[in-house]
Amino acid sequence: MVDFVHLHVHSQYSILDGACKLPDMIEKAIADGMQGVAVTDHGNMFGIKEFHDEACKHPGFKPIIGCETYVARRSHKEKSEIIDRKGDHLILLAKNFIGYQNLSRLISLSWIDGHYYKPRVDKELLKLYSEGLIVSSACLAGEIARAILAGTPDKALQAINEYKEIFGRISTLR
């Protein structure tokens, strides 16, 4: 087994961004010696049951349930064309059953209350439902990466501190 697990994978449930079918993805991860993989589709958890059921057919393989969320730059209920059309990407992974429940709540609320072009959460919702979740700064469309690319490391540090306050201790990869 290799000491590597993908924690940011999009499946066919990430429309226009992912193409891998869940059974094929799991087979490929196992063939490459991985002990698990995380599915983090954009703004949804539509494939999580299929993913979990398929992964459980392979003893010792760990399905990691997650989602790449869109974090509104203001309240997730605000809907102004210029400011609120896009949100910053943020990866959330469930580390236990409470985390799964909180992730499910966040994604449901993003569709019910926060949908504006995309399903969005905000930092207040993240504070309410952070227990049992692991956070990752996501891709170049994440708040931290955008601030660094814009040449404003102070804003990146501010975002890091906000997420640290919301989710607790921050670990770095070794």
165 is a domain residue: no
Range of the domain at 119: 6-142
Token digits of residue 128:
């309410």
Checking DSSP bridges between strand 62-71 and strand 120-121, what pairing results, if any? parallel
Are the CB atoms for 9 and 25 separated by under 8 Å?
Answer: yes
What is the per-residue pLDDT for 122? 95
pLDDT at residue 2 in the model: 66
Q: What is the CATH number of the domain that holds 87?
A: 3.20.20.140
CA distance 100 to 108: 12
pLDDT 10s digit of each residue in the chain, 174 long? 568 999 999 999 998 788 889 999 999 999 999 999 999 999 999 999 999 999 999 999 999 999 999 999 888 888 887 788 888 999 999 999 999 999 999 999 999 999 889 999 999 999 999 999 999 998 999 999 999 999 999 999 999 999 999 998 655 544
Pairing of strands 36-39, 6-9: parallel
Contact 146, 88 (CB under 8 A): yes
Q: How many CB atoms lie within 10 A of CB 174?
A: 3
Say if residues 40 and 89 touch (Cβ distance below 8 Å): no
What is the reported pLDDT for 171? 55
Backbone angles phi, psi at 154, to 5 degrees: -65, -35
78 part of a folded domain: yes
Residue 174, pLDDT score: 41
Q: How many domains does the chain have?
A: 1
Tokens of residue 44, six digits: 């949804």
In a domain, 62, yes or no: yes
48-55 helix and 22-31 helix, angle to the nearest 10 degrees: 40
Model pLDDT, residue 173: 45
pLDDT at 71: 96
Residue among 56, 64, 87 at smallest CA distance from 74: 87
User: Is 154 domain-assigned?
Assistant: no
Q: How far is CA 35 from the centre of its chain?
A: 20
Name every residue whose Cβ is closer than 8 Å to that of residue 155 and which is 6 or more positions away in sequence: 147
Return the pLDDT at 157.
96
